[in-house]
Amino acid sequence: MKLDNVRLLVTRFDECFTFYHEKLGFPVLWGELGGGYASFGTAESQFAIFSRSEMAEAVGTDHLPAASDAQDQFALIVRVNDLDATAARLKAEGISMITDVQDRPGWGIRTAHLRDPDGNLIELIESLPAESWDEGLRKADGKYQKQQTS
């Protein structure tokens, strides 16, 4: 079994299409504005957006509410080369950031958070140098690195 991609189910397809392609800069692999499905990324790493109502109809949940107030159930994680520059560019383009850039030594990364036009949570990440990780993360990483090489 192999994971093929992650598909975000959206209600605002055209706005999300434009956001992922034009604002975040993901190449379109398949699909177009006005459609109900599009995939983005590269041959090695991709994700898709799909009309939430079409999926609900396909799986028989179209009688249920499309949205509810709840904590996020997933986050789309996007690795960037320069988190500070990316966050500044997105802010300059009028995109609201949920959190500013933060170092997270317990996670080994720097993060910033935003939402797409449909409200999906996006975490932008950049690696922190291993010497700035907290001690617990360094120990855990050593443990898991050993397991992967055994």
CATH code of the domain occupying 1-63:
3.10.180.10
- Domain limits, CATH 3.10.180.10, in the chain: 1-63, 72-150
- Considering the domain 72-150, what is its CATH architecture? Roll (3.10)
Beta 121-127 vs 109-115: how paired, if at all? antiparallel
Cα–Cα–Cα angle for 17, 24, 4, rounded to 5 degrees: 65
pLDDT greater than 90 at residue 43: no
Instruction: Assess contact for 110 and 104: CB atoms under 8 A.
Output: yes
pLDDT greater than 90 at residue 132: yes
pLDDT tens digits for 18-31? 999 999 999 999 99
pTM above 0.95, yes or no: no
Percent of the chain scored above 70 by pLDDT?
A: 99
Amino acid at site 102: Q
pLDDT greater than 70 at residue 150: no
87 Cβ neighbours under 8 A, 6+ residues apart: 97, 100, 101, 112, 124
